[in-house]
Chains A and B, each alone.
Chain A
């Protein structure tokens, strides 16, 4: 297949599957809470709807940065699709992309001029202190397998079996990280409803739709990385089943757990990171 068509196909799949998984999450959460909930396709419809809505840019926004930062979010997750499913490149690049995601959250909040956005921007820095160490768990994978290359990791697992069995604590840490990126998550302090929509408060209309596209791609990519790195070579059908299962488990946790106070959120994540890193190294030495 032509490289460009391969990239376009993967980006489109990431957006569509990510949107439907977000819709599924909302549906499951609603059912658990005794509500009928929106249709599964609702998140996708919302994303498209925002593109034709009337949009206005707040006078307090720092233009053109306010618009450019939304494009930045899209750039990094398109890059993740290229590094991941398209080329099977390095996990280090994915780690870099995730670090930029935190910068985007910070800057989207600060560029809007809204007090909610600014509070979210502070929380983004705060949560980065916990989430970046959680992502750094990928280093443990390097110590175990001797590679950070996604294709080599798939080959390693086809010989030695899934890494989730050898590094269960590392998988748990990555799961906590994925959960923190889910809407309504107990760790989603940057988008907590206590600060309206956090860094997205002043990004409405088409810019909100644009952010939602990138977030859907991000969700798909995080699940893809988890399944690829910890479960190894999977068929397309197994990927879809895995993504549905993880999204459903996270929906269950989100539905039954309130949004944590920022201090508690960060402390719990840091605790998981500490237990995961120390435990994983202990397991490696045994």
Chain B
């Protein structure tokens, strides 16, 4: 598993855990706001990073060989 996938899994679990914490324990308002602002966006992003398809190794090599034309 590459670095991006590992980081994404950690963020996914941490954000999901914090949302569950706020749902179950109902802490004071400002903590819930902080959790919502940080965890909801991170949860969606990390879910996407975990779920996104990855190209095969051969395709990866092909893409690298393609010359970068630059901007």
A contact set with B: CB distance below 8 Å = 2-5, 7-8, 11, 51-56, 59-60, 67, 70-71, 74-75, 78-79, 82, 113-115, 205-207, 209-210, 213
6 nearest A-B pairs in the assembled complex, by CB-CB distance = A206-B48, A74-B41, A4-B22, A54-B53, A206-B52, A55-B52
User: Most chain-B Cβ atoms within 10 A of its Cβ — which of A4, A55, A70?
Assistant: A4
- In terms of DSSP, what is the predominant structure of the interface of chain B? helix
A210 to B50, CA, bound (A): 13
Residue of B nearest to A118 (CB): B71
Does B52 lie within 8 Å of A3, measured CB to CB?
no
Please tell me the number of chain B residues within 8 Å of chain A, measured between CB atoms: 27
Contact with A along B21-34 (1 / 0, CB 8 A): 01100100100110
**CB proximity of B55 to chain A, nearest CB, Å:** 5
Give the contacts of B25-67 with A (CB-CB under 8 A).
26, 29, 32-33, 35-38, 40-42, 44-45, 47-49, 51-55, 63
User: Most chain-A Cβ atoms within 10 A of its Cβ — which of B36, B37, B47, B55?
Assistant: B36
Q: Which of A54, A59, A78, A113 contacts B55 (CB 8 A)?
A: A54
A206 to B47, CA, bound (A): 9
Does A209 lie within 8 Å of B23, measured CB to CB?
no
Knowing A2-B23, A114-B71, the reply to whether A54 touches B54 (Cβ < 8 A) is yes
Does A74 lie within 8 Å of B45, measured CB to CB?
yes
Does A8 lie within 8 Å of B19, measured CB to CB?
yes
A56 to B51, CA, bound (A): 13
Residue of B nearest to A75 (CB): B41
A105 to B68, CA, bound (A): 26
A3 to B35, CA, bound (A): 11
**CB proximity of B53 to chain A, nearest CB, Å:** 4
A11 to B52, CA, bound (A): 23
Residue of A nearest to B45 (CB): A71
Q: Which of A59, A70, A82 contacts B33 (CB 8 A)?
A: A82
Does A7 lie within 8 Å of B32, measured CB to CB?
yes
Known: A4-B22, A206-B49, A206-B52. 10 other contacts (CB 8 A): A5-B23, A7-B32, A8-B36, A51-B52, A54-B53, A56-B55, A71-B45, A75-B38, A75-B41, A78-B40
**CB proximity of B60 to chain A, nearest CB, Å:** 9
